[in-house]
Structure formats: C-alpha cells, structure tokens
Structure 1
Amino acid sequence: MLKAHSCMTAIWRHTMSIIPGVTAMHHSLGSLRWRSRYRPAPLLSASPARALIDEQISIQGRFLPPHSAVTVCAHMHSEDGDLWEAFSHYNTNEDGTVNLNRDYSVGGSYVGCEPMGLMWSLQPAPGAREGLRLRKKNVEAPYVVNLSLLEGHVTPSDGSTGEGCGAGPLAVSTVERWYMTPGVRRIDIRQNGIVGTLFLPSGPGPFPAVVDLWGMGGGLVEYRSALFASRGFASLSLAYFGHKDIPGPLNTINVGVDYLRSAYHLLQDRPEVCEERVGVIGLSFGVFMSLQIATQPDLKPKCVICINGPIGEYWGSGSPFKRATLVSEKCPCRITFTQRTVKVMRKIKSHTNILPIPNIQLQSLQFYINHMSLQLENLTCPILYIVGEDDLSCASKENANEIEEALRSAGKAQLFTRLSYPGAGHLIEPPYSPNARTALWTVKPKKLITLWGGHLAPHAAAQENSWNKMLHFLDCNLRG
C-alpha cells in the first residue's frame, strides 16, 4: 500500500512539472470566482413574510448594480377582486442594495424614508371602479401583497393584466398581512337580540375587554376587533344599524340605550372576560353610541376612545336616537345648534365644489351637536378623543371642544385627553391601512360619494401614532 501511494505521488509531481502553471491555477480557483464579473441574481426579501396588519415589515433588494435606479412595487387584490397598487422609486447604494427602512424614495406613490409606504399608499389601479374603499370582510384570511423589483424609475401598468407594476420584474416576493394571530377565537353573537362578533385572545383569560362600535356605514365590521384580540383584549364588534339580523328597516337605527346596555352586560358576563375591566371604542357615529354607554350611571366602563365622532345625533322626526334616518340627498347639509358647526359645514361645501368627480352627487354625512343628547357630566372614566383635522365628514374638533368644555365645567377636566392630527381625515383606522379620501356610499337611487378627507402621508402617520397611543391608553386603564 505504501508503495502504491508513493507511485501516485510521483505521478502527480511529474504531471505538475510537465504542465507549467497548473499549480498556480489550482491555488487561485477561489479568488477567481470572486473576481468574476458575474453576480447573484437580484433578490427581493420581505421579513417577516407573515405579520399582523399593525406590524412593520422590512423590505430589501440586494445583488443589484451600484447607484442604479429601481422601482419597488406592491399590488394586491381586495376580496371583491379589485386591484390595488403602490410603487416607489429608489436609487441603490454603492453596495447594490436598497433598504426601505433606511433609504429615501425619490418619487412614485410617496417620497421620503417610509418603511411601510408601499402598504399605506396602496390605491385602486388605473381603470378601477369609482369610490373604492379597502375594508376587510373575512378576518380569518390575510391580505396577500405581491412585491416586485423593477429596473429603472418606471410607472406601474394600468393593471389590465391583473398583475400590476409592469412586466419583467428583476425579483419578486410575497407577504401576508393578518388581523388575527393564531389562537384568537372568533364567536358569532346572536343572543337576546344582540348582533355582534366576539373575538377572544389565545389563552384561558380572563381578559380585559372592549365594546367596538363603527359608524353609519352600518353592518358588522370585525377587523379592528380581531386586531384588538391579537393584542390581548377581548373585543365585541357590535352591530346596531344596517344589519339583516336587527329587526326593522335597514336605513334606520332601531335600537336604543337598552340594546347597548344588554351588549355591555353580555360582554361582562363572559367567563373569559374580566368584568371590571371593560372599555368602549367608537368611530364616527359610533362615538355617539360609545358615549351613550359611558354616560349611563349603571354601566361605568373603565375608559372610552372616540375617533372623529359626534356627541349629538341625526336630526329626524320622533326620537332621533331610536329613529335616526340617514341624511338624504335633498338635505345633505342641515346644521343646527352651534355656529362653529356651521363654519365647518361651509368648509365642507367648498370642498365638494372642487372635487373632480363628474356625474356623481357628493354628500357629507355631517353630525349635529345636540346638548340634550348626552349628559356628559355623568362621565366618570378617562376619555381619549382622536381628531383628524382634515375630517370632511364630521365636525370632530368642535365635538371634542364640546366634550372638553362640558367636563371642565363639571370639574372633570383631568378625564379628557385629545390627540389631534393635521392632514388626517375621518377614517382613522389601524396602522398601514390605505386611506380613502372619498368613497362610494350608495348606488341607489343614485350614486353618492361620501367625503372622508385625509391626505395619504399625514393620515398614515396619524394612524400609526394613534394606534400605539390607543393600545397604551387601554393598557393603562384596563390592565393597570
């Protein structure tokens, strides 16, 4: 065996002496690979690939030419099949990378360093139906967002192929955006006349809880409640208007304070809920409903959050609260009770005259301040009122002022906290949700477009900041 090994060694040495340069080439193979002009294929990554809707993701492009122009796109289909898209222009660094957490967009759907810009700037693709608003219906499935990396500073396609953002991407990636974490339980509530959906966090509980109320769009809106449960709060999304399981005409509010009281007690009585740690949150007309609960002496929630909503009710015949009809197209702007509200309405009218939406009537669902509607002096819990200063649907600043003044007069000024956001509109929702400045309200008897207000970038900033402040507010008042 030793002799055979010696022979092979001699043959190898002989070969090396016959073929000059082979040894040098053998030792330089590794360095030759790194000196090659070839590089790995471009890569687009998004991490985490599955995340809650309120979580940031990190989007990066790598293995690109240094100092080159690229476009990063996002596109997704809503549950109704409509294509939404966003895009932004970047220039790669000297190492051939682009990182949305670090780098500045120089054009497209947004500009500046906006790590989640591709999410909050999503808008209907060119040629889409008029008046679209993105709202999640099935919270047990995610939004699936497709990301693309394109060469050069380009504009997306018109979406006619359903793929968006042009052809021939350098790299692609996909992310899932969820409202529910694994383990959250969704329970339909049809009990004692109450119509809602209860979301319970993972685990045995008991949990702090919130009653979640939306506005005059009606129906049962679940996605905010699902997200609250994902953050550790039991949440009852409560329908009170425009739902087939609530008796009476769909275009009227057919329930009163007793309905709200029963829903509150139903939530308290759940074994998974800590009955002494229940709060209320309302958006738009849901603010009025939330304050109805909070001012009842026998309920006493621990806290209430109000987002761009009224302390008054629609002005109608009979009892407005029990029979509050929608504002009609013949009288969309009837104002009463305060001069400040009149001024806000004049501002809204000026906006309707310049919006470029032909052949569609615009309406403003303006809320009215009625000092007799609520006994605000009965409030005993902290209240967080969130104002979008570009709200075109509700005189939110004026309503916040009325609440603050009423509490100050009652010696309870310490209960009131206001968050006010320039450039934010009416629909302040969970973070990174696209804003709709206008949206379709109804198609019968004719198309009506509702004015919500809000500009994309400041509205997105308001949603992110207010959501974190809301979670902190709930933590302090329901857990502490």
Structure 2
Amino acid sequence: CLRYAVLIGDALQQILASSIRPAPLLTATPVRTLVDEQACIKASFLPSNHPVTVCARMRSDEGDLWQSFAHYNTNSRGTFDLNSDLSVGGSYSGCEPMGLFWSMQPAPGERDGLRLRKKCVESPYTVHISLLEGHVSPNQEPVKELAAVTAERWYMAPGVKRQEIRQNGLVGTLFIPPGPGPFPAMLDMWGMGGGLPEYRSSLFASRGYASFCLAYVGHKDLPGPPNTINVRDSYFQAAFQFLQDHSHIAADKVGIVGLSYGCYLTFHTATLAGVKPACLIGINGPVGSSREILRVNSLLSLKHILCILQILMKPLVLMQLEEITCPLMYIVGEDDLSVLSIENADLIEETLRAAGKSHLFTRLSYPGAGHLIEPPYSPMSRATFIFFSCSVMTVWGGHPAPHAAAQEDAWKKMLEFMELNLRR
C-alpha cells in the first residue's frame, strides 16, 4: 500500500507540475533584422531532455516555398538555444546559430533549379519559425506545432533611399544611406545572369555606403538583344562618373565590386581612362573576356565550358592588370565549378608582383565554397537555371556549411576592406 501511495504521489506531482508549467515558448531576438545580422533563437518551458524540431519556412518573391529544419534535445531545464546547442540532425548539424537561414532549400514539389534572390528589397523576407514535437521532418503529417514566431529579414535599413536611374543611357538603381553625406560609394556589378539584382547594393547602403547597382546585360531597358552585352567601355566610365558627380557622394571615395563576369568588368573598368577607383573587390571572376558563354545551353558547368572555349577559340583577351593602382581584394571559392577562380587569383597575384604592386593585393580563399559567394546567411544553390534566349542549367559548386562560413567571413572582411580604403 505504501508503495502504491508513493507511485500515486509521484503521478500527482507530475500532473501538477505539467498543469502549472507555462506553454512552450519560442523566441527570435530581434524579430526584425537586416539579413546580414544574426538572430538569437531560443525555446523554453519544455520537458527536460526532450526531442524537438525547429522548422523555418518562407516564400520567395516569386512565391516558391523554402524551408529548413533541425533536431534538438532540450537540457535539464527544458530549454535550448541555437547559439550554444547542437543540432543532431535535419538540414544541418552542430552548433550553427544561423543554420535555419543558410540551410534553406526549396520545399519538396517546388520547381527545379531555383536560386533565392530578393527581387523587391523594400519588403522583407517573412520567416515562420515553428517548434515541433519530436525529431520529425516538417513534411510529415500530422506534425504537432508546440510554438511559433515570425521573423523579418530586411535588405534595407530604415532611412535608406532607393532611386531608379535611367539617364544618359545608364540603367541601374542607386541606394543612398540616411544622413547628409557625402558618403563613400561602390559601383556594384553582378554576373552573366543579367538583370538588376539590388540586394547587395541595398545592404551596402544599410552599412553607410552609397551604392549604384548597374545593369549591363539581360535587362529590358538596355539596347539590343537581352542575351548579349551591347554596351561599350564608355557605359562603365559613365557609371563611375555618375557616382563621382553625385552631390551626396565623396568623389575620391568610390570603389567597384563585381561577382563572376561582373568581377571581370570591375577590373577592366579600373583600367579605363578617367576611372580612378579607391578600391576594387572581385568575387570568383575571370580576368579575360568570354562573352560567348552567354549563348551556351549545356548541362556542363561553366568552368568546363570555359576550358573548352580556351582550347577551341582564340585566347581570351586579358586586361591590363598591371595598370591597376588601387587596393584590390579577390575572393576565391575553392569549389567554384563555374570559373577558374584559383587560377585567376594566381594570375592576378603574379601580375601585380611583377609590376611591383604586391602590396595592393588581398586574397581570400575558402575551401568548400562555391561560385556564388553572396551576403551572409543566404542559402546556397549548387546548380540553378539561368535564362537568356534559352535556359541553361549552371553548376556553381559549393557545400552548404563551408559555403555559409565563407559568406559570413567574406562579408565581414569586405566591409573592413571598404572601411579601410573608403573612409580613411
């Protein structure tokens, strides 16, 4: 009887404890952040040593569903914290405070070959983060949701001004930070995917740098067919001059940044007459012109196509790197399957050394990172479709965890490089 009384007492105690325990709570602090900032995600008021799943879901601007999930075990206090605790499975493993964001992938059933790119920087990504019972997949049915929170991820800080530029033949978008200025500035160019991606420029402006995102291929307001580059050197000279002449920009504090083919244009523009940038940043780009790749329709990676073109065509036209007179940062993803980034970095370094300009060169190299090194906590896409007159499946390379680490580190060092060369 005594033993039964003890058992009944324990059961009553557990019932009483569960009845007074607050409902499970999931928090994301701060709820509203820029996309290059960390959020602290925690859960509390759960049973001790209990399996749970955290799931993140959001819609892209095109309406596609992206998601990630991770398995955690609560501690003896019934809590867990993504800043200090380990994921034991799911979209990523280990201690990854921002893993829910950088590990996102299209949900099952979505279109193939997607790449997450913000189309409208004046609105946030709204991320629904939920806490689920047990170690489960978010696609299982039924799944018990214990708690949830919504986080906003912004590309524009309050007060940043966005202005579409369509003047003197230029096609682009200018972002100006809040305040009177004059501001240091960046001319921002993307790759052969074309169009006018604004999200890096809007983030630069959110960090105090005016930024002019320039279209040069694949935009309806540019001349000629959309799948070829139909602008000349004078176009890029005019874009740089536009920044120098702007009343809110410091004329002697203008840099240039480019990814992929935009990297080639970054270095080439720096050698043009009348263009004197304060610094250059190139990300996984060639140092020779290869516009013919714009018309390739192949499942091969662009890296392999480039090798074939180098064999079958006349040699690529190499720019005069030795003419560069400002600090230059070149960022390498060592698993880049689109461009010969390691070899290009070697060539830049050798050329500047021969010209007595080694002191101008900074090289960042990241094992496991692919071609598309973007702002931090952006999901990695190893292969995506790009569209010209036809669709092309392009292999970018990269592995999620090291690629995410590269994006975080490279962004920090890019901003430090800009601070050193554009503000002092």
Q: TM-score normalized by structure 1?
A: 0.81
Asked if 1:275 corresponds to 2:275, the answer is no
1:44-59 → structure 2 map (5 Å cutoff): 44-59=26-41
Query: What is the CA deviation profile of residues 314-370 of structure 1, one whole-angstrom value per residue up to 9, with x for unaligned ones?
Result: 165xxxxxxxx6242379789xxxxxxxxx639999xxxxxxxxxxxxxx999x995
1:73-88 → structure 2 map (5 Å cutoff): 73-88=55-70
Q: What secondary structure sits across from 1:90 in the alignment?
A: strand
> Which residue among 198, 204, 211 is the counterpart of 2:180?
204
Asked if 1:393 corresponds to 2:338, the answer is yes
> Which residue among 237, 258, 265 is the counterpart of 2:234?
258
Residue 370 of structure 2 corresponds to 425
Contact in 2 for aligned 1:297/1:378 (Cα 8 Å): no
> Which residue among 409, 413, 416 is the counterpart of 2:354?
409
Instruction: State the distance in 1 between where 2:396 and 2:314 align.
Output: 19
Contact in 2 for aligned 1:313/1:369 (Cα 8 Å): no
Contact in 2 for aligned 1:311/1:369 (Cα 8 Å): no
Structure 1 residues 436, 348: closer, same or farther in 2, change over 3 A?
A: farther
1:95-110 → structure 2 map (5 Å cutoff): 95-110=77-92
Structure 1 residues 295, 76: closer, same or farther in 2, change over 3 A?
A: same
1:28-427 → structure 2 map (5 Å cutoff): 36-38=17-19, 39-157=21-139, 167-314=143-290, 316=292, 326-329=294-297, 345=304, 372-427=317-372
Instruction: State the distance in 2 between where 1:91 and 1:331 align.
Output: 42
- Once the two structures are aligned, what percentage of the paired residues are identical? 58
Q: Quote how far apart the aligned CAs of 1:83 are.
A: 0.6
Query: What is the CA deviation profile of residues 378-423 of structure 1, one whole-angstrom value per residue up to 9, with x for unaligned ones?
Result: 1000100000011010001111111111101111111111100001
For residue 50 of structure 1, what is the amino acid of its counterpart? R
Instruction: State the distance in 2 between where 1:79 and 1:346 align.
Output: 31
Query: What is the CA deviation profile of residues 259-310 of structure 1, one whole-angstrom value per residue up to 9, with x for unaligned ones?
Result: 0000100011111000010000000000111011212252110000000001
For residue 102 of structure 1, what is the amino acid of its counterpart? S
CA RMSD of the aligned region, Å? 2.5
For residue 212 of structure 2, what is the amino acid of its counterpart? L
Structure 1 residues 273, 116: closer, same or farther in 2, change over 3 A?
A: same
Instruction: State the distance in 2 between where 1:156 and 1:125 align.
Output: 10
Q: Quote how far apart the aligned CAs of 1:80 are.
A: 1.1
Q: Quote how far apart the aligned CAs of 1:433 are.
A: 0.2
Query: What is the CA deviation profile of residues 48-84 of structure 1, one whole-angstrom value per residue up to 9, with x for unaligned ones?
Result: 0000000000000000000000000000011111110
Q: TM-score normalized by structure 2?
A: 0.92
Residue 469 of structure 1 corresponds to 413
Contact in 2 for aligned 1:90/1:106 (Cα 8 Å): yes
Q: What secondary structure sits across from 2:294 in the alignment?
A: coil
Contact in 2 for aligned 1:280/1:290 (Cα 8 Å): yes
Q: What secondary structure sits across from 2:114 in the alignment?
A: coil
Structure 1 residues 365, 138: closer, same or farther in 2, change over 3 A?
A: farther
Residue 13 of structure 1 corresponds to none
Q: How many residues align?
A: 409
Structure 1 residues 72, 405: closer, same or farther in 2, change over 3 A?
A: same
Q: What secondary structure sits across from 1:108 in the alignment?
A: coil
Instruction: State the distance in 2 between where 1:154 and 1:193 align.
Output: 54
Structure 1 residues without counterparts, runs of 5 or longer: 1-31, 159-164, 317-324, 335-343, 350-363
Structure 1 residues 444, 216: closer, same or farther in 2, change over 3 A?
A: closer
Residue 5 of structure 2 corresponds to none
Q: What secondary structure sits across from 1:474 in the alignment?
A: helix
Instruction: State the distance in 2 between where 1:315 and 1:52 align.
Output: 35
Instruction: State the distance in 1 between where 2:233 and 2:315 align.
Output: 17
For residue 245 of structure 1, what is the amino acid of its counterpart? D
Q: What secondary structure sits across from 1:198 in the alignment?
A: strand
Residue 423 of structure 2 corresponds to 479
Q: What secondary structure sits across from 1:392 in the alignment?
A: coil
Residue 21 of structure 1 corresponds to none
For residue 296 of structure 1, what is the amino acid of its counterpart? L
For residue 299 of structure 1, what is the amino acid of its counterpart? V
Structure 1 residues 409, 185: closer, same or farther in 2, change over 3 A?
A: same
Instruction: State the distance in 2 between where 1:298 and 1:332 align.
Output: 39
Query: What is the CA deviation profile of residues 7-44 of structure 1, one whole-angstrom value per residue up to 9, with x for unaligned ones?
Result: xxxxxxxxxxxxxxxxxxxxxxxxx9xx7442000000
State which structure, 1 or 2, has the greater radius of gyration over its C-alpha atoms. 1
Structure 1 residues 440, 331: closer, same or farther in 2, change over 3 A?
A: closer
Contact in 2 for aligned 1:44/1:173 (Cα 8 Å): yes
Instruction: State the distance in 1 between where 2:262 and 2:142 align.
Output: 41
Asked if 1:459 corresponds to 2:403, the answer is yes
